[in-house]
Structure 1
C-alpha cells in the first residue's frame, strides 16, 4: 500500500487495479490476502475493508481465508489493531526487528522496544495464535551472547510464529555507507552462522518447528500465504512494485506470466487512473522458467521438493 496525501485516491486505485487483475487472471478462488510492503498499518482500516470487499466481489474469498497485515509497532500502528480486525484482518505480522533501542535507531526504525512489546501483547489479545514476529540478527556490534539473551526475551512474549532474518546491507542506504566507511561493523559470516544455529536451537527448545529457511511455527501456525509463494502457486500482486505470477485469462490458458507493477507510487497512481492497472512488465514463463522457480522456492522448505511437484 503506497503512502498518499489523498487516501481516497489511493483506495480508488487499489480497488481498480485489484479488480482489473482479477478479471485478467484465471485466479477465481482466493485463499489468502497479505497486506505488506511499505507500512500498510498507516492506511485507514476502511481502506483494508474496501480492498477485501473488492476481492470478495470478483473472486471467491471464504471466511477461512488468511488475511495478514504487516504492522509497524509504533503507538499509531498498535492503536488501530482492533479496527483492522473488524475490517477483516485475522493475522498480524509485526516488524519488531530488535529489542535493543540503540540498534533500532541504527536500523532507522521509528519505534522502540517498549512499543514493540506492547504491540505484540495487544495483537495476541486480539488474534491469539495468529500473530507473527519478525526479528533480525547480524546487526552492527551484535555478538552471539547478546543475541541469545535478546531472543529469549522476545520469545517470552511471542505468539506461535517467528520469522528470523539476517541483516542485509542494501546499497545506497545510510547503514551501508556507515559500514563501508568503517563507522560501524557487522558480525562476520562465521559469527552470523553461529547466531543462526543458536536461534534454531533456542526456537526448537521453545516448541517452534522450522518449516522454511527463515520461518518457525508452533501449534501449526504456518504462514499459508507465504507457503503459496514457496510452492509456486498462482498469486496476484497489487500496488507499487508488486509482483504476480498467474495465467492470464484467454491467452492460451496454459502460459503463466511474471508481472511487475510500476515501482514509483506517484507514477503508479497516474497509470492506474489512466488504464486501470500499473503493470510495467509482463514476462511469459517457459516450462523451464517455471521449473526453475519451483526448484528455487521449494529448496527453501524443510520438506524440500518431491518428484510429484516437479
Structure 2
C-alpha cells in the first residue's frame, strides 16, 4: 500500500487580506521544535498506516519556503527511514517570492525538493498591495525566472482572478504576461471572500468594487481558452499543464488516493491498521502550533479529530474529487468500491442526469463518467443532482451504513 504525504508549515510573514487559512506569523525561535515535531508526527502516522511507499510529498502552508532547508531535509529523511520514498518521487514546496532567493532555492533542491509552486497571484503591484502580499510584480518575475533554472519543467505558478477593480482587459494582460515567463504548470484561483478577513470587511463596507459573478465567469472561460491556445491541458478545474507537467501529488489526491497529513491543521485520509475493520479514517491535526507540539511530544502525533468513514462517504468524496479532473472516474475504479450501484445505474434512474448528458455537460461512456469541457466550468451546479441520485440509489440498494460518529484523538 502506498500513499501521499502532506506537510503543513503553519507560518507566514504576514496575513494576507483575503486569507482565512490556518496560519500564524512566523517566529524565529522555535523552528527546531517545529522540525522535531514534524519528524516525530511523520514517524508515528506512517507507522500507524503501515504504508509501504510514499509516492509524493507536498510541503504546503502557510509559507514553507520560510523554513530552513534543514527542516525539509529532516522530514524527507524520516519518511525514507519509516517507509520507501522512491528516488523519483515528486517533492513539491510552496514558495512566496520574498521568502526565497536563488541560493535558498538551490538549497531546497539539494535537500530533495524537485518541484516548486510559486505564489505569484498577480503581476500588478496595485493588486498585490490590496491582497496584502509582501512581494512586488518584479519580485515574482525574478523568482519565476530563477526557479525555472533550478527546477526546469517543474515550476508552477498560482494566479488569482476576480480581484477588486479587475477588468477583463487587465486580466487578459496578466495572463499574456504570465505566459511569456511561466513554466509548464499554472493554477488559477478565483478570489473567494471569506468572513473574518480584511477584504470581506472592505466589501461589507462597500470600500472596494468587485467584479460581478457574470464577469468572473467570463474571466475563467477566457483564461481556459487562452491557456489552451498556449498548449496547456486543463487536467483539473483550477489546474493547467503542458508537456506532461501535471502535479502527480494533486492528481493522485483528486483521484482518491490515501494521504497522510502532518503539521498544525493538516488533514489526512488513510487506513489505520490497528483499528478493527481497517476502515479509512478522516483525520485533522490540532490547529494551533503550540498545542499541536505539546500533543506530538505527549502522544507522538497531534491528531485532534478522527472520523471513521463508511463506504458511502468514501464514494461520495471520490465522485466529487474525480469529477474535478478531465479524466473523471472509470467504471473499474467505481466498481471496486461500489459493486451494487453502477454509474450507468445512476443515469438510468435519473432523468435530470440524462438531461445533463444531453446538454453536453456530463459524459458517460465505456471509459467511465467525467465532465465535458463545458461541464468543468459549471461543476458545482452538477454535483448536487449527481450526489442526490447516488444517495437515493445507495439507500435503495440496502447498502447505506449508519454514519460513523466523530471521535477525538
Instruction: Say yes or no: TM over 0.5.
Output: yes
Q: CA deviation at 1:288?
A: 0.3
Q: CA deviation at 1:231?
A: 0.7
Q: Residue 146 of structure 1: which of 170, 178, 197 is its match?
A: 170
Match of 1:29 in 2: 53
Q: CA deviation at 1:54?
A: 0.2
Q: CA deviation at 1:309?
A: 1.8
Q: Residue 2 of structure 1: which of 1, 5, 10 is its match?
A: 10
Match of 1:296 in 2: 320
Q: Is the 8 A contact 1:26 1:246 kept in 2?
A: no
Match of 1:207 in 2: 231
Match of 1:274 in 2: 298
Distance in 2, matches of 1:147 and 1:78, equals: 29
- Higher-Rg member (1/2): 2
Alignment of 1:172-183 (within 5 A): 172-183=196-207
Q: Residue 116 of structure 2: which of 89, 92, 95 is its match?
A: 92
Distance in 1, matches of 2:151 and 2:212, equals: 38
Runs (5+) with no aligned partner, structure 2 = 1-8, 12-26, 335-409
Q: CA deviation at 1:250?
A: 2.5
- Shift of the 172–78 alpha-carbon distance from structure 1 to 2, 3 Å rule, reads farther
Which stretch of structure 1 is more off in the superposition, 166-175 or 4-13?
4-13
SS in 2 for 1:121: helix
SS in 2 for 1:111: coil
Match of 2:181 in 1: 157
Match of 1:71 in 2: 95
Distance in 1, matches of 2:39 and 2:99, equals: 28
Q: CA deviation at 1:252?
A: 3.6
Deviation digits for residues 59-106 of structure 1, max 9, x if unmatched? 110111000000011164554100000010000000000001111111
SS in 2 for 1:80: helix
Q: CA deviation at 1:254?
A: 3.4
Q: CA deviation at 1:2?
A: 2.9
- Does residue 223 of the first structure (1) align with residue 231 of the second (2)? no
TM-score, structure 2 normalization: 0.74
- Shift of the 268–75 alpha-carbon distance from structure 1 to 2, 3 Å rule, reads closer
Distance in 2, matches of 1:139 and 1:50, equals: 38
Distance in 2, matches of 1:25 and 1:77, equals: 37
Q: Residue 310 of structure 2: which of 286, 300, 310 is its match?
A: 286
Following superposition, which runs of at least 4 residues in structure 1 exceed 3 angstroms of deviation?
A: 75-79
Distance in 2, matches of 1:57 and 1:26, equals: 13
Distance in 2, matches of 1:26 and 1:245, equals: 13
RMSD across aligned positions (CA):
1.1
- Does residue 53 of the first structure (1) align with residue 77 of the second (2)? yes
Deviation digits for residues 234-277 of structure 1, max 9, x if unmatched? 11000000000000012245310000000111111111112111
Which stretch of structure 1 is more off in the superposition, 267-276 or 183-192?
267-276
